[in-house]
């Protein structure tokens, strides 16, 4: 069962100039329930972004398939909203126009999301006038205003400083607690993974596959002080062991 089903997925990138092909993803299976918040956690280069891009339809699997609400994913579509690590606001559109870009967004919905992401007063600003955190908040509003079935987040706070990142986590979590949208979140930050999600899927070093899954039983609504609680620390200790082992493997592969 599952709202989003990733079935026996593999991805091999062809070699460049007769070089050896790169196996980015080994057989990967994952099910995400409706309204769930799942994090893919893994060391850099483990294929977690590749997996997310395949779910988005921006890349194709070598074998296997992705089903969303029983429909096979073959191409990108408005049912899978995405926020990227890089700043992808359209620079020629204002904040409001960016949020209205999606085919299903209306001005009323856009205004509602401007409020939810605390951007009132900045509706008519161009992206270059905004800080990184504000740009990512706009990108989040843009994805949500299009009312996707699932929200795909590819390290959306990765380029932000620590303080802004913590605030963004709370903002996203608050929106999720209110709307319960299905979310697939990619990160390499263990604290972020525990704080945000209901379930963490740990990915191995390349070729990536899901090595372990950990259910996070912290109650909602979550408060930032939870990050220093004993339960949080236990989850962190467990995930750190997993990630450390994989990071060492990943580092050795580079030599």
Partner 1 sequence: MEPLKPVSHRARIALGAGFFVLLLALWAALTFGGVIPPLFLKDPVYTLVTGYNLFAEFGFARDVGITVWRVVGGFVIAAIVGVPLGIAMGAYKPIEAFFEPFVSFARYLPASAFIPLLILWAGVGETQKLSVIFIGSVFQIVLMVAVIVGSTRRDLIEAAYTLGADSTAIVKRVMLPGAAPQIAETLRLVLGWAWTYVIVAELVGADSGIGHMIMDSQRLLDTGQMIFGIFCIGVIGLVSDLLFKWMNQRVYAWAF
Residues that bind partner 1 (CB under 8 A): 56-58, 75-78, 80-82, 84, 86, 88, 90-93, 101-104, 126, 128, 139, 142-143, 146, 152
Separation between Cα atoms, residue 16 and residue 93, nearest integer Å: 37
Cβ–Cβ under 8 Å, residues 226 and 232: yes
Q: Given the complex with partner 1, which of 12 and 88 has the nearer CB atom?
A: 88
Q: Given the complex with partner 1, which of 80 and 209 has the nearer CB atom?
A: 80
**Whole-number minimum distance, CB 73 to partner 1, in Å?**
12
Q: Given the complex with partner 1, which of 75 and 120 has the nearer CB atom?
A: 75
Q: What does the block give as tokens for 224?
A: 């930032």
Q: Given the complex with partner 1, which of 25 and 89 has the nearer CB atom?
A: 89
Separation between Cα atoms, residue 25 and residue 38, nearest integer Å: 18
**Whole-number minimum distance, CB 106 to partner 1, in Å?**
13
**Whole-number minimum distance, CB 255 to partner 1, in Å?**
31
Q: Given the complex with partner 1, which of 47 and 102 has the nearer CB atom?
A: 102
DSSP secondary structure of 43-112: -TTSSHHHHHHHHHTSS--SEEEEEETTEEP-S--TTEEEE-SS----TTS-HHHHHT-STT--HHHHHH
**Whole-number minimum distance, CB 146 to partner 1, in Å?**
5
**Whole-number minimum distance, CB 249 to partner 1, in Å?**
29
**Whole-number minimum distance, CB 111 to partner 1, in Å?**
18
Helix, coil or strand: residue 154: strand
Beta bridge partners of 72: 67
Q: Given the complex with partner 1, which of 88 and 247 has the nearer CB atom?
A: 88
Q: Is the dihedral of CA 235, 238, 242, 244 positive or negative?
A: positive
Beta bridge partners of 212: 202
Beta bridge partners of 150: 80, 182
């Amino acid at each position: 069962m599952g709202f989003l089903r990733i079935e026996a997925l593999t991805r091999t990138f062809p070699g460049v100039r007769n070089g050896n092909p790169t196996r980015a993803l080994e057989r990967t299976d994952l099910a995400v329930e409706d309204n769930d918040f799942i994090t893919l956690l893994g060391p850099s280069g483990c294929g977690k972004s590749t997996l997310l891009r395949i779910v988005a339809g921006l890349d194709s699997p070598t074998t296997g398939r992705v089903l969303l609400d029983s429909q096979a994913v073959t191409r990108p579509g408005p049912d899978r909203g995405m926020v990227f690590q890089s700043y992808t606001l359209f620079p020629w559109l204002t904040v409001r126009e960016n949020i209205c870009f999606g085919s299903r967004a209306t001005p009323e919905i856009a205004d509602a999301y401007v409020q939810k992401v605390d951007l009132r007063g900045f509706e008519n600003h161009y992206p270059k006038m905004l800080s990184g955190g504000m740009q990512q908040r706009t990108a989040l509003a843009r994805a949500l205003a299009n009312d996707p079935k699932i929200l795909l987040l590819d390290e959306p706070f990765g380029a932000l400083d620590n303080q802004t990142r913590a605030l963004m986590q709370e903002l996203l979590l608050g929106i999720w607690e209110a709307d319960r949208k299905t979310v697939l979140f990619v990160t390499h930050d263990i604290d972020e993974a525990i704080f945000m999600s209901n379930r963490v899927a740990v990915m191995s070093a390349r070729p990536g596959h899901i090595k372990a899954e950990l259910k996070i039983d912290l109650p909602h609504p979550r408060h930032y002080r939870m990050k220093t609680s004993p339960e949080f620390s236990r989850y962190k200790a467990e995930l750190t062991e997993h990630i450390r082992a994989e990071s060492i493997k990943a580092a050795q592969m580079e030599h």
